Chain A
Protein backbone atom coordinates (compact mmCIF):
# COMPACT_ATOMS: atom_id res chain seq x y z
CA UNK A 1 0.00 0.00 0.00
CA UNK A 2 1.10 3.57 -0.56
CA UNK A 3 1.36 6.27 2.04
CA UNK A 4 -2.20 6.62 3.35
CA UNK A 5 -1.77 9.62 5.68
CA UNK A 6 -4.56 12.18 5.30
CA UNK A 7 -3.59 15.00 2.93
CA UNK A 8 -3.11 18.40 4.56
CA UNK A 9 -1.35 20.24 1.74
CA UNK A 10 -2.59 19.40 -1.75
CA UNK A 11 0.05 21.58 -3.42
CA UNK A 12 3.07 19.82 -1.90
CA UNK A 13 1.77 16.44 -0.73
CA UNK A 14 -1.18 15.42 -2.94
CA UNK A 15 -2.53 11.89 -3.08
CA UNK A 16 -4.79 10.88 -5.98
CA UNK A 17 -5.85 7.77 -4.07
CA UNK A 18 -7.10 9.81 -1.10
CA UNK A 19 -10.80 9.09 -0.47
CA UNK A 20 -11.49 12.87 -0.63
CA UNK A 21 -9.93 13.10 -4.09
CA UNK A 22 -11.66 9.99 -5.41
CA UNK A 23 -15.05 11.22 -4.16
CA UNK A 24 -14.77 14.83 -5.32
CA UNK A 25 -11.60 16.08 -7.03
CA UNK A 26 -13.21 19.20 -8.54
CA UNK A 27 -12.79 21.58 -5.61
CA UNK A 28 -9.22 20.38 -5.11
CA UNK A 29 -8.35 21.14 -8.77
CA UNK A 30 -9.99 24.57 -8.57
CA UNK A 31 -7.98 25.41 -5.51
CA UNK A 32 -4.73 24.15 -7.07
CA UNK A 33 -5.30 26.04 -10.34
CA UNK A 34 -5.50 29.27 -8.34
CA UNK A 35 -2.67 28.62 -5.91
CA UNK A 36 -0.29 26.10 -7.43
CA UNK A 37 -1.37 24.80 -10.85
CA UNK A 38 1.27 22.07 -10.96
CA UNK A 39 1.23 20.30 -7.60
CA UNK A 40 3.89 17.92 -6.30
CA UNK A 41 4.12 14.96 -3.97
CA UNK A 42 6.78 12.58 -2.78
CA UNK A 43 4.28 9.85 -2.00
CA UNK A 44 5.00 6.91 -4.36
CA UNK A 45 8.09 8.74 -5.65
CA UNK A 46 8.48 12.32 -6.86
CA UNK A 47 5.35 13.09 -8.89
CA UNK A 48 3.82 16.22 -10.46
CA UNK A 49 0.12 16.94 -10.97
CA UNK A 50 -0.79 19.61 -13.55
CA UNK A 51 -4.34 20.99 -13.37
CA UNK A 52 -4.48 23.49 -16.26
CA UNK A 53 -5.58 22.58 -19.77
CA UNK A 54 -2.68 24.23 -21.57
CA UNK A 55 -0.07 22.61 -19.32
CA UNK A 56 -1.54 19.14 -19.83
CA UNK A 57 -1.65 19.62 -23.62
CA UNK A 58 1.92 20.99 -23.73
CA UNK A 59 3.18 18.07 -21.63
CA UNK A 60 1.42 15.55 -23.88
CA UNK A 61 3.08 17.06 -26.95
CA UNK A 62 6.60 17.19 -25.49
CA UNK A 63 7.45 13.51 -25.97
CA UNK A 64 11.17 14.21 -25.73
CA UNK A 65 11.06 15.25 -22.10
CA UNK A 66 8.00 13.26 -21.06
CA UNK A 67 8.23 9.60 -21.98
CA UNK A 68 5.38 7.09 -21.98
CA UNK A 69 7.52 4.21 -20.74
CA UNK A 70 5.97 4.54 -17.26
CA UNK A 71 2.27 5.19 -17.60
CA UNK A 72 0.88 3.87 -14.34
CA UNK A 73 -0.56 6.43 -11.96
CA UNK A 74 0.37 4.04 -9.14
CA UNK A 75 3.95 3.00 -9.95
CA UNK A 76 4.56 -0.72 -10.21
CA UNK A 77 7.10 -2.13 -7.83
CA UNK A 78 9.06 -2.97 -10.95
CA UNK A 79 7.18 -1.68 -14.02
CA UNK A 80 5.34 -4.37 -15.99
CA UNK A 81 8.08 -4.18 -18.59
CA UNK A 82 10.29 -5.92 -16.00
CA UNK A 83 8.13 -8.98 -16.61
CA UNK A 84 10.15 -11.15 -19.03
CA UNK A 85 6.95 -12.07 -20.91
CA UNK A 86 6.18 -8.40 -21.55
CA UNK A 87 9.62 -7.34 -22.76
CA UNK A 88 8.12 -4.36 -24.58
CA UNK A 89 5.50 -3.34 -22.03
CA UNK A 90 2.02 -2.79 -23.44
CA UNK A 91 2.66 -0.86 -26.66
CA UNK A 92 1.79 1.52 -28.18
CA UNK A 93 0.53 3.22 -24.99
CA UNK A 94 3.64 2.43 -22.95
CA UNK A 95 6.08 3.15 -25.77
CA UNK A 96 7.80 6.12 -27.36
CA UNK A 97 8.60 6.23 -31.08
CA UNK A 98 9.74 4.18 -32.93
CA UNK A 99 8.07 1.20 -31.15
CA UNK A 100 4.98 3.35 -30.55
CA UNK A 101 4.67 4.24 -34.22
CA UNK A 102 4.59 0.80 -35.81
CA UNK A 103 2.59 -0.93 -33.06
CA UNK A 104 -0.01 1.84 -33.20
CA UNK A 105 -0.24 1.40 -36.95
CA UNK A 106 -1.02 -2.29 -36.44
CA UNK A 107 -3.73 -1.51 -33.93
CA UNK A 108 -5.54 1.52 -35.38
CA UNK A 109 -7.38 -0.17 -38.29
CA UNK A 110 -9.17 -2.39 -35.75
CA UNK A 111 -10.66 0.74 -34.21
CA UNK A 112 -11.27 2.78 -37.35
CA UNK A 113 -14.66 4.36 -37.92
CA UNK A 114 -15.45 1.76 -40.53
CA UNK A 115 -14.68 -1.14 -38.18
CA UNK A 116 -16.43 0.48 -35.27
CA UNK A 117 -19.59 0.86 -37.35
CA UNK A 118 -19.51 -2.91 -37.89
CA UNK A 119 -19.44 -3.45 -34.10
CA UNK A 120 -22.45 -1.21 -33.55
CA UNK A 121 -25.31 -3.70 -34.20
CA UNK A 122 -23.76 -6.18 -31.76
CA UNK A 123 -23.34 -3.44 -29.15
CA UNK A 124 -26.91 -2.26 -29.63
CA UNK A 125 -28.32 -5.78 -29.25
CA UNK A 126 -26.19 -6.33 -26.15
CA UNK A 127 -27.38 -3.09 -24.51
CA UNK A 128 -31.02 -3.72 -25.42
CA UNK A 129 -30.84 -7.22 -23.98
CA UNK A 130 -29.31 -5.98 -20.75
CA UNK A 131 -31.99 -3.30 -20.26
CA UNK A 132 -34.74 -5.78 -21.11
CA UNK A 133 -33.42 -8.00 -18.33
CA UNK A 134 -33.56 -5.17 -15.80
CA UNK A 135 -36.74 -3.36 -16.69
CA UNK A 136 -39.23 -5.58 -14.85
CA UNK A 137 -37.34 -5.16 -11.55
CA UNK A 138 -37.95 -1.40 -11.38
CA UNK A 139 -34.55 -1.03 -9.80
CA UNK A 140 -30.95 -1.68 -10.86
CA UNK A 141 -27.33 -0.91 -10.24
CA UNK A 142 -26.70 1.12 -13.39
CA UNK A 143 -22.94 0.58 -12.95
CA UNK A 144 -22.67 -3.12 -12.11
CA UNK A 145 -25.76 -4.44 -13.88
CA UNK A 146 -25.39 -2.35 -17.04
CA UNK A 147 -22.33 -0.15 -17.70
CA UNK A 148 -19.85 -2.77 -16.50
CA UNK A 149 -21.37 -5.45 -18.73
CA UNK A 150 -21.00 -3.64 -22.07
CA UNK A 151 -17.41 -2.75 -23.11
CA UNK A 152 -15.86 -6.00 -21.88
CA UNK A 153 -18.11 -8.03 -24.19
CA UNK A 154 -17.43 -5.84 -27.21
CA UNK A 155 -13.68 -6.01 -26.58
CA UNK A 156 -13.88 -9.79 -26.14
CA UNK A 157 -15.51 -10.07 -29.56
CA UNK A 158 -12.81 -7.90 -31.17
CA UNK A 159 -10.00 -9.89 -29.57
CA UNK A 160 -11.74 -13.16 -30.39
CA UNK A 161 -11.85 -14.40 -26.78
CA UNK A 162 -14.89 -15.91 -25.01
CA UNK A 163 -17.50 -13.40 -23.81
CA UNK A 164 -18.41 -16.02 -21.16
CA UNK A 165 -15.17 -15.00 -19.39
CA UNK A 166 -16.30 -11.37 -19.11
CA UNK A 167 -16.47 -11.33 -15.32
CA UNK A 168 -12.98 -12.82 -15.11
CA UNK A 169 -11.63 -10.20 -17.54
CA UNK A 170 -13.29 -7.41 -15.57
CA UNK A 171 -11.78 -8.80 -12.36
CA UNK A 172 -8.26 -8.83 -13.81
CA UNK A 173 -8.59 -5.32 -15.24
CA UNK A 174 -9.88 -3.94 -11.93
CA UNK A 175 -7.01 -5.67 -10.09
CA UNK A 176 -4.52 -3.98 -12.41
CA UNK A 177 -6.06 -0.49 -12.48
CA UNK A 178 -8.37 0.08 -9.51
CA UNK A 179 -6.60 -1.98 -6.89
CA UNK A 180 -3.13 -1.01 -8.01
CA UNK A 181 -2.29 0.10 -4.46
CA UNK A 182 -2.45 -3.54 -3.37
CA UNK A 183 0.67 -5.17 -4.91
CA UNK A 184 -0.61 -8.72 -4.43
CA UNK A 185 -3.92 -8.04 -6.06
CA UNK A 186 -2.32 -6.12 -8.89
CA UNK A 187 0.15 -8.94 -9.55
CA UNK A 188 -2.73 -11.43 -9.57
CA UNK A 189 -4.45 -9.37 -12.27
CA UNK A 190 -1.31 -9.05 -14.41
CA UNK A 191 -0.52 -12.76 -14.12
CA UNK A 192 -4.09 -13.73 -14.88
CA UNK A 193 -4.16 -11.60 -18.01
CA UNK A 194 -0.77 -12.65 -19.31
CA UNK A 195 -1.29 -16.35 -18.58
CA UNK A 196 -4.57 -16.22 -20.44
CA UNK A 197 -3.15 -14.47 -23.50
CA UNK A 198 -0.11 -16.78 -23.66
CA UNK A 199 -2.53 -19.70 -24.06
CA UNK A 200 -4.71 -17.82 -26.55
CA UNK A 201 -1.66 -17.01 -28.69
CA UNK A 202 -0.64 -20.68 -28.75
CA UNK A 203 -4.12 -21.65 -29.86
CA UNK A 204 -4.10 -19.14 -32.71
CA UNK A 205 -0.77 -20.30 -34.07
CA UNK A 206 -2.55 -23.51 -35.01
CA UNK A 207 -6.01 -22.10 -35.73
CA UNK A 208 -6.01 -18.43 -36.73
CA UNK A 209 -9.40 -16.72 -36.58
CA UNK A 210 -10.81 -13.45 -37.86
CA UNK A 211 -9.84 -11.45 -34.80
CA UNK A 212 -7.32 -8.90 -33.57
CA UNK A 213 -5.14 -11.43 -31.77
CA UNK A 214 -4.79 -13.63 -34.89
CA UNK A 215 -4.17 -10.56 -37.05
CA UNK A 216 -1.33 -9.34 -34.81
CA UNK A 217 0.22 -12.78 -34.70
CA UNK A 218 0.21 -13.12 -38.46
CA UNK A 219 1.27 -9.55 -39.32
CA UNK A 220 4.57 -8.70 -40.93
CA UNK A 221 6.38 -5.51 -40.13
CA UNK A 222 9.19 -4.66 -42.52
CA UNK A 223 9.22 -8.27 -43.70
CA UNK A 224 9.49 -9.86 -40.26
CA UNK A 225 6.74 -11.33 -38.09
CA UNK A 226 5.73 -9.41 -34.97
CA UNK A 227 7.48 -10.75 -31.86
CA UNK A 228 5.23 -12.64 -29.50
CA UNK A 229 6.08 -10.31 -26.61
CA UNK A 230 4.69 -7.43 -28.63
CA UNK A 231 1.53 -9.36 -29.53
CA UNK A 232 0.97 -10.19 -25.84
CA UNK A 233 1.57 -6.59 -24.81
CA UNK A 234 -0.83 -5.16 -27.38
CA UNK A 235 -3.51 -7.75 -26.51
CA UNK A 236 -3.18 -7.03 -22.79
CA UNK A 237 -3.41 -3.30 -23.53
CA UNK A 238 -6.60 -3.67 -25.57
CA UNK A 239 -8.31 -5.50 -22.74
CA UNK A 240 -6.97 -3.27 -19.95
CA UNK A 241 -7.66 -0.02 -21.78
CA UNK A 242 -10.96 -1.04 -23.31
CA UNK A 243 -12.87 -2.12 -20.23
CA UNK A 244 -12.63 0.08 -17.12
CA UNK A 245 -12.37 3.30 -19.11
CA UNK A 246 -15.54 3.07 -21.19
CA UNK A 247 -17.53 1.40 -18.45
CA UNK A 248 -16.61 4.39 -16.25
CA UNK A 249 -17.76 6.87 -18.88
CA UNK A 250 -21.08 5.07 -19.35
CA UNK A 251 -21.58 4.89 -15.59
CA UNK A 252 -20.75 8.56 -15.00
CA UNK A 253 -23.12 9.59 -17.76
CA UNK A 254 -25.99 7.51 -16.37
CA UNK A 255 -25.24 8.88 -12.90
CA UNK A 256 -25.44 12.41 -14.33
CA UNK A 257 -28.72 11.68 -16.10
CA UNK A 258 -30.17 9.97 -13.00
CA UNK A 259 -29.38 13.02 -10.89
CA UNK A 260 -30.17 15.74 -13.49
CA UNK A 261 -33.79 15.34 -14.66
CA UNK A 262 -33.72 18.33 -17.02
CA UNK A 263 -30.76 16.90 -18.98
CA UNK A 264 -32.33 13.45 -19.05
CA UNK A 265 -35.60 14.79 -20.44
CA UNK A 266 -33.80 16.96 -22.94
CA UNK A 267 -31.85 14.00 -24.36
CA UNK A 268 -35.05 11.99 -24.64
CA UNK A 269 -36.84 14.87 -26.38
CA UNK A 270 -33.90 15.82 -28.63
CA UNK A 271 -32.17 12.58 -29.66
CA UNK A 272 -30.34 14.46 -32.45
CA UNK A 273 -28.37 16.20 -29.69
CA UNK A 274 -26.70 12.92 -28.73
CA UNK A 275 -23.34 13.25 -30.57
CA UNK A 276 -22.69 16.69 -29.08
CA UNK A 277 -24.00 15.60 -25.66
CA UNK A 278 -21.71 12.57 -25.63
CA UNK A 279 -18.69 14.86 -26.09
CA UNK A 280 -19.87 17.05 -23.23
CA UNK A 281 -20.34 14.07 -20.91
CA UNK A 282 -16.86 12.86 -21.88
CA UNK A 283 -15.48 16.29 -21.05
CA UNK A 284 -17.21 16.66 -17.71
CA UNK A 285 -16.58 13.11 -16.49
CA UNK A 286 -13.31 12.18 -18.22
CA UNK A 287 -12.30 8.89 -16.67
CA UNK A 288 -8.63 8.53 -17.56
CA UNK A 289 -5.41 9.90 -16.06
CA UNK A 290 -2.14 8.62 -17.55
CA UNK A 291 1.42 9.11 -16.36
CA UNK A 292 4.66 10.18 -18.04
CA UNK A 293 8.23 9.89 -16.81
CA UNK A 294 10.67 12.81 -17.08
CA UNK A 295 13.63 11.85 -19.33
CA UNK A 296 16.04 14.63 -18.32
CA UNK A 297 16.03 17.51 -15.86
CA UNK A 298 13.72 20.19 -17.21
CA UNK A 299 11.96 23.31 -15.99
CA UNK A 300 8.28 23.09 -16.86
CA UNK A 301 5.90 25.85 -15.88
CA UNK A 302 8.39 27.04 -13.25
CA UNK A 303 8.69 23.56 -11.76
CA UNK A 304 12.13 21.94 -11.48
CA UNK A 305 11.36 18.47 -12.82
CA UNK A 306 14.08 15.86 -12.50
CA UNK A 307 14.86 12.83 -14.64
CA UNK A 308 12.82 9.93 -13.28
CA UNK A 309 10.02 12.09 -11.82
CA UNK A 310 6.50 11.12 -12.78
CA UNK A 311 3.98 13.55 -14.25
CA UNK A 312 0.29 12.69 -14.06
CA UNK A 313 -1.50 13.63 -17.27
CA UNK A 314 -4.53 15.06 -15.56
CA UNK A 315 -6.91 15.09 -18.52
CA UNK A 316 -9.96 15.20 -16.22
CA UNK A 317 -8.75 18.42 -14.56
CA UNK A 318 -7.74 19.95 -17.91
CA UNK A 319 -11.32 19.45 -19.05
CA UNK A 320 -12.62 21.43 -16.06
CA UNK A 321 -10.25 24.39 -16.54
CA UNK A 322 -12.18 27.68 -16.72
CA UNK A 323 -9.45 29.11 -18.99
CA UNK A 324 -10.42 26.54 -21.63
CA UNK A 325 -14.14 25.98 -21.01
CA UNK A 326 -16.89 28.41 -20.14
CA UNK A 327 -18.52 27.50 -16.83
CA UNK A 328 -16.64 24.19 -16.79
CA UNK A 329 -18.43 22.62 -13.82
CA UNK A 330 -21.79 22.91 -15.54
CA UNK A 331 -22.77 20.15 -17.95
CA UNK A 332 -24.17 21.88 -21.07
CA UNK A 333 -25.40 19.12 -23.35
CA UNK A 334 -25.19 21.42 -26.38
CA UNK A 335 -21.77 22.91 -25.57
CA UNK A 336 -20.36 23.98 -28.93
CA UNK A 337 -16.83 25.09 -28.03
CA UNK A 338 -15.43 21.86 -26.65
CA UNK A 339 -11.82 20.92 -27.37
CA UNK A 340 -11.83 18.37 -24.56
CA UNK A 341 -8.91 15.99 -24.11
CA UNK A 342 -10.73 13.05 -22.52
CA UNK A 343 -8.96 10.83 -25.05
CA UNK A 344 -5.62 12.54 -24.55
CA UNK A 345 -3.72 14.83 -26.87
CA UNK A 346 -0.87 14.35 -29.33
CA UNK A 347 0.57 11.08 -30.59
CA UNK A 348 -0.95 8.95 -27.83
CA UNK A 349 -4.56 9.95 -28.59
CA UNK A 350 -6.64 7.00 -27.35
CA UNK A 351 -6.53 4.36 -30.10
CA UNK A 352 -9.98 3.14 -29.08
CA UNK A 353 -11.68 6.53 -28.99
CA UNK A 354 -14.05 5.77 -31.89
CA UNK A 355 -15.12 2.57 -30.16
CA UNK A 356 -15.56 4.24 -26.78
CA UNK A 357 -17.66 7.02 -28.29
CA UNK A 358 -19.89 4.53 -30.10
CA UNK A 359 -20.33 2.38 -26.98
CA UNK A 360 -21.21 5.37 -24.82
CA UNK A 361 -23.72 6.71 -27.32
CA UNK A 362 -25.38 3.35 -27.94
CA UNK A 363 -25.48 2.49 -24.22
CA UNK A 364 -27.25 5.79 -23.46
CA UNK A 365 -29.63 5.52 -26.42
CA UNK A 366 -30.74 1.98 -25.60
CA UNK A 367 -31.18 2.78 -21.90
CA UNK A 368 -33.15 5.98 -22.56
CA UNK A 369 -35.32 4.29 -25.21
CA UNK A 370 -36.56 1.81 -22.60
CA UNK A 371 -36.05 3.67 -19.33
CA UNK A 372 -36.58 7.37 -20.09
CA UNK A 373 -37.46 8.14 -16.46
CA UNK A 374 -35.14 7.03 -13.67
CA UNK A 375 -33.51 8.51 -10.60
CA UNK A 376 -31.01 7.65 -7.89
CA UNK A 377 -32.52 5.37 -5.25
CA UNK A 378 -33.03 7.20 -1.98
CA UNK A 379 -31.06 6.10 1.06
CA UNK A 380 -28.40 4.29 -0.95
CA UNK A 381 -24.87 5.29 -1.72
CA UNK A 382 -23.12 5.81 -5.04
CA UNK A 383 -19.51 4.62 -4.77
CA UNK A 384 -16.62 5.82 -6.96
CA UNK A 385 -13.25 4.41 -8.01
CA UNK A 386 -10.35 6.71 -8.85
CA UNK A 387 -6.66 6.93 -9.56
CA UNK A 388 -5.89 5.86 -13.14
CA UNK A 389 -9.58 5.54 -14.03
CA UNK A 390 -12.38 7.43 -12.31
CA UNK A 391 -15.99 6.38 -12.43
CA UNK A 392 -18.91 5.17 -10.35
CA UNK A 393 -18.84 1.54 -9.28
CA UNK A 394 -22.33 1.37 -7.81
CA UNK A 395 -25.29 3.51 -8.95
CA UNK A 396 -28.55 2.29 -7.40
CA UNK A 397 -31.39 3.66 -9.52
CA UNK A 398 -35.15 3.23 -9.56
CA UNK A 399 -37.46 3.54 -12.56
CA UNK A 400 -41.02 3.29 -11.33
Chain B
Protein backbone atom coordinates (compact mmCIF):
# COMPACT_ATOMS: atom_id res chain seq x y z
CA UNK B 1 0.00 0.00 0.00
CA UNK B 2 1.19 3.47 -0.88
CA UNK B 3 -0.41 6.83 -0.06
CA UNK B 4 0.01 10.49 -0.94
CA UNK B 5 -1.34 13.83 0.27
CA UNK B 6 -2.73 16.14 -2.40
CA UNK B 7 -1.19 19.53 -1.53
CA UNK B 8 -3.95 21.36 -3.41
CA UNK B 9 -6.62 19.81 -1.21
CA UNK B 10 -4.85 19.75 2.18
CA UNK B 11 -5.97 22.63 4.41
CA UNK B 12 -3.85 21.74 7.40
CA UNK B 13 -6.43 20.04 9.61
CA UNK B 14 -3.55 17.70 10.59
CA UNK B 15 -6.00 14.98 11.53
CA UNK B 16 -3.75 12.44 9.78
CA UNK B 17 -0.73 13.47 11.83
CA UNK B 18 -2.72 13.52 15.08
CA UNK B 19 -3.98 9.98 14.47
CA UNK B 20 -1.05 8.37 12.65
CA UNK B 21 2.20 10.29 13.25
CA UNK B 22 4.12 7.24 11.97
CA UNK B 23 2.99 7.94 8.41
CA UNK B 24 2.68 11.74 8.15
CA UNK B 25 4.63 14.91 8.73
CA UNK B 26 3.27 18.45 9.08
CA UNK B 27 5.00 21.75 8.45
CA UNK B 28 4.68 24.99 10.44
CA UNK B 29 1.61 25.93 8.41
CA UNK B 30 -0.13 22.65 9.10
CA UNK B 31 0.29 21.16 5.65
CA UNK B 32 0.78 17.41 5.67
CA UNK B 33 3.12 15.23 3.66
CA UNK B 34 3.72 11.52 3.77
CA UNK B 35 6.84 10.18 5.45
CA UNK B 36 9.36 8.87 2.92
CA UNK B 37 7.85 7.83 -0.40
CA UNK B 38 4.46 7.04 1.15
CA UNK B 39 4.95 3.29 1.26
CA UNK B 40 2.87 1.92 4.15
CA UNK B 41 4.30 -1.06 6.05
CA UNK B 42 1.75 -3.89 6.23
CA UNK B 43 1.30 -3.46 10.01
CA UNK B 44 0.24 0.18 9.50
CA UNK B 45 -2.25 -0.35 6.68
CA UNK B 46 -5.30 -0.14 8.91
CA UNK B 47 -3.95 3.07 10.44
CA UNK B 48 -3.38 4.49 6.96
CA UNK B 49 -7.03 3.74 6.19
CA UNK B 50 -8.03 5.49 9.43
CA UNK B 51 -6.16 8.62 8.31
CA UNK B 52 -7.82 8.50 4.87
CA UNK B 53 -11.26 8.14 6.50
CA UNK B 54 -10.66 11.11 8.81
CA UNK B 55 -9.49 13.70 6.31
CA UNK B 56 -12.24 16.31 5.94
CA UNK B 57 -10.76 17.55 2.65
CA UNK B 58 -10.41 14.13 0.98
CA UNK B 59 -6.74 15.03 0.52
CA UNK B 60 -5.20 11.62 1.26
CA UNK B 61 -5.36 8.97 -1.42
CA UNK B 62 -4.06 5.51 -2.03
CA UNK B 63 -1.86 5.51 -5.11
CA UNK B 64 -1.88 2.84 -7.78
CA UNK B 65 1.44 1.12 -7.23
Contacts and interface: CB of A to CB of B under 8 A. Distances in A.
Contact of B14 (A337, A340, A345, A353): A353
Contacts of B18: 275, 279, 354, 357
B50 interface: yes
B56 A341 contact: yes
B59 to A, nearest CB: 11
B54 interface: yes
Contacts of B57: 345-346
Contacts of A340: 56
Given A113-B14, A343-B13, A349-B11, A275 B19 contact: yes
Nearest to B25: A113
A6 interface: no
Nearest to A112: B28
A112 B29 contact: yes
Contacts of B30: 108, 111-113, 349, 354
Given A113-B14, A353-B14, A345 B56 contact: yes
A114 B14 CA distance: 12
A112 B11 contact: no
Contacts of B15: 279
B38 interface: no
B54 to A, nearest CB: 5
Q: How large is the interface on A (under 10, 10 to 19, 20 to 34, 35 or more residues)?
A: 20 to 34
Interface in A328-359: 336-341, 343, 345-347, 349, 353-354, 357
Q: How large is the interface on B (under 10, 10 to 19, 20 to 34, 35 or more residues)?
A: 20 to 34
Contact of B56 (A105, A112, A339): A339
A112 B55 CA distance: 18
Contacts of A105: 29
Interface in A269-302: 275-276, 279
A261 interface: no
B19 A276 contact: yes
Nearest to A108: B29
Contacts of B54: 279, 336-339
B13 A347 contact: no
Contacts of B44: none
Interface in B25-41: 26-30
B29 A347 contact: no
B57 to A, nearest CB: 7
A109 interface: yes
A114 B27 CA distance: 9
Contacts of A346: 11, 57
B1 interface: no
A340 B30 CA distance: 17
Contacts of A345: 11, 56-57
B56 A354 contact: no
Contacts of A337: 53-54
Contacts of B29: 105, 108-109, 112
A60 to B, nearest CB: 10
B13 A349 contact: yes
Nearest to A276: B19
A275 B51 CA distance: 12
Given A108-B28, A108-B30, A112-B26, A347 B14 contact: no
B60 to A, nearest CB: 11
A-B pairs with lowest CB-CB distance, top 4: A109-B28, A349-B11, A112-B28, A337-B53
Interface of A: 57, 105, 108-109, 111-114, 275-276, 279, 336-341, 343, 345-347, 349, 353-354, 357
28 contacts: A57-B56, A108-B12, A108-B28, A108-B30, A109-B28, A112-B26, A112-B27, A113-B17, A113-B30, A114-B28, A275-B18, A276-B19, A279-B54, A336-B53, A336-B54, A337-B54, A339-B53, A339-B58, A340-B56, A341-B56, A345-B56, A346-B57, A349-B11, A349-B12, A349-B13, A354-B14, A354-B18, A354-B30
Given A336-B53, A341-B56, A346-B11, 8 more contacts: A109-B29, A112-B30, A275-B18, A339-B53, A345-B57, A346-B57, A349-B11, A353-B14
Interface of B: 11-15, 17-19, 26-30, 49-50, 53-58
